[in-house]
């Protein structure tokens, strides 16, 4: 979110400074994700049945879902807001904006590829939702039907049809849904290309500094305090992921946010390389072919941001892969370095994009959950339009960061 916001702001003629508490190129929530661009994800995390499913999964230490115990007051309030949003009415109200955000961002990725040039490859093979059980395939087929109704292209594939699409690896499933508008890329390459482009065009990067507070002149925020010194600004964009809720709280805004901790590994030399990125439906694991190997990612552990690695959950990810791709064994993945990242998750499953009412020269760009990479370009474009005082490409009323204030 930060680099995309900086890129589009720079394109609009703004002088840009990026303040990052890590060194350039350090691992982050953006580097180890599944690298998927997902117009298929038009259903928010807060949906009917999610609470019941989550409660069942809590009983299995290897399941793809976890919840931090004991829960904090913030977690309990977040859960209450999630419960209020997890209904069919909410899904109906939000599918249009989630669809539009994702499709717009998908088109912007095409433009980014042209503008930045070499640096990252956009794979346009779509996404496969692989289903072991017929009941799962039936459920996904209904989602595919709805996707087509709202303009997101999807096709249900029988096993023979699937084998014509996935030519890189054998699959042991009963069928799949192919979302044709989805795409994928290698996240590290995208981040590097954005940094290089920004630097070449005059952006300033301030690394290894963390905001410790904010300063005002005549009642208006105009500088960020860090442990090293102050950085003045006219406009400030907060794109600090799972830490955004705590940061804007110091600016007088209540913005519920939990971290959805997830894990991934990148197998540099897999026994086979699947051709198309996929979600393993029952296991809730993502598989993405990348330039540096095969990315395998999964798990959603809700709680405060943390770098803790739950080995049971990692084992759950590893055990699931050979069930769908029989040419893999668990040994192919053991010993690979484990990446951990904290997805920023609002309780209603919608991003926070917009200005803070208490401090109007502060814009929030956060809360994208599992769609951070997918929605980077459209978020950056919307942020730049706000900075420049133009009408935004998409309506922001449902994404208002002040909606829980």
Residue with tokens 């395998």: 296
257 token code pair: 């946010």
Residue with tokens 């580097």: 31
In a domain, 41, yes or no: yes
Burial of 184 by CB count in 10 Å (0-12 exposed, 13-18 middle, 19+ buried)?
buried
Query: Looking at residue 234, what is its pLDDT?
Result: 97
Total domains in the fold of the chain = 1
Query: Looking at residue 392, what is its pLDDT?
Result: 98
Kindly give, in sequence order, each residue whose CB lies less than 8 Å from that of residue 364, ignoring residues fewer than 6 positions away.
Answer: 237, 238, 239, 244, 248, 255, 352, 353, 354, 355, 356, 401
Q: What is the CATH number of the domain that holds 116?
A: 3.50.50.60
Residue 228, domain extent: 2-399
The kind and range of the H/E element at 297 are strand 293-303
Q: How far is CA 235 from CA 110, 132, 212, 221, 376, in A?
A: 28, 50, 17, 9, 19
218 token code pair: 């005549």
Query: Looking at residue 33, what is its pLDDT?
Result: 95
21 token code pair: 């508490």
What's the first-to-final CA gap in the chain, in angstroms? 22
Query: Looking at residue 25, what is its pLDDT?
Result: 74
In a domain, 405, yes or no: no
Query: Looking at residue 26, what is its pLDDT?
Result: 77
pTM: 0.96
Residue with tokens 């990067």: 205
Residue with tokens 């930060």: 2
Would you give the DSSP letter of residue 269? S
> What is the CB-side half-sphere exposure of residue 211 using CA atoms within 13 A?
22
Cα 255–chain centre separation: 18
Compute the distance between CA of residue 259 and CA of residue 306 in angstroms, rounded to an integer: 8
Q: Are 138 and 200 in contact (CB under 8 A)?
A: no
In a domain, 404, yes or no: no
In a domain, 298, yes or no: yes
Mean pLDDT (10-residue bins), the chain, 405 residues: 97 96 82 96 93 89 93 95 96 97 97 82 95 97 98 97 98 98 95 94 94 92 94 97 95 96 97 98 97 96 95 97 98 95 97 97 97 97 98 98 96
Query: Looking at residue 118, what is its pLDDT?
Result: 64
What is the pairing mode between strands 293-303 and 258-267?
antiparallel
In a domain, 262, yes or no: yes
The sign of the CA dihedral 381, 382, 385, 391 is positive
Q: Are 378 and 393 in contact (CB under 8 A)?
A: yes
């Amino acid at each position: 979110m930060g680099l995309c916001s900086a890129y589009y702001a720079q394109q609009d003629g703004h002088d840009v400074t990026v303040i990052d508490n890590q060194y350039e190129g350090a691992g982050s929530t953006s580097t180890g994700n599944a690298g998927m661009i997902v117009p298929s994800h038009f259903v928010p995390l807060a949906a009917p049945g999610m609470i019941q499913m989550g409660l069942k999964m809590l009983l299995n230490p290897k399941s793809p879902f976890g919840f931090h115990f004991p829960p904090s007051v913030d977690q309990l309030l977040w859960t209450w807001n999630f419960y209020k949003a997890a209904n069919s009415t909410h899904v109906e109200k939000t599918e249009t904006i989630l669809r539009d955000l994702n499709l717009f961002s998908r088109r912007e990725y095409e433009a980014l590829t042209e503008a930045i040039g070499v640096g990252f490859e956009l794979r346009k093979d779509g996404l496969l939702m692989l289903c072991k059980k017929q009941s799962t395939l039936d459920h996904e087929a209904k989602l595919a039907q709805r996707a087509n109704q709202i303009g997101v292209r999807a096709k249900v594939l029988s096993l023979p049809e699937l084998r014509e699409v996935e030519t890189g690896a054998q699959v042991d499933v009963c069928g799949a849904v192919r979302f044709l508008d989805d795409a994928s890329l290698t996240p590290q390459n995208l981040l590097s290309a954005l940094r290089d482009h920004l630097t070449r065009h005059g952006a300033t990067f301030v690394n290894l500094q963390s905001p410790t507070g904010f300063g005002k002149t005549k009642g208006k925020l105009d500088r960020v305090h860090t442990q090293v010194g102050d950085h003045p600004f006219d406009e400030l964009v907060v794109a600090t992921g799972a830490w955004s809720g705590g940061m804007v709280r110091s600016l007088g805004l209540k913005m519920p946010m939990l971290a959805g901790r997830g894990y991934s590994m990148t197998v540099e030399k897999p026994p086979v390389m699947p051709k198309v990125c996929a979600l393993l439906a029952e296991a809730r694991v993502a598989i993405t072919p990348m330039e540096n190997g095969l990315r395998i990612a999964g798990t959603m552990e809700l709680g405060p941001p943390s770098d803790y690695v739950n080995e049971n959950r990692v084992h759950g990810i590893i055990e699931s892969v050979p069930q769908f791709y029989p040419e893999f064994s668990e040994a192919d993945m053991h010993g690979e370095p484990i990446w951990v990242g904290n997805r920023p998750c609002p309780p209603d499953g919608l991003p926070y994009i917009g200005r803070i009412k208490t401090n109007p020269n502060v814009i929030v760009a956060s809360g994208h959950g599992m769609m951070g990479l997918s929605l980077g370009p459209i978020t950056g474009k919307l942020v730049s339009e706000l900075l420049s005082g133009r009408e935004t490409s998409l309506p922001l009323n449902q994404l208002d960061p002040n909606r829980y204030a």
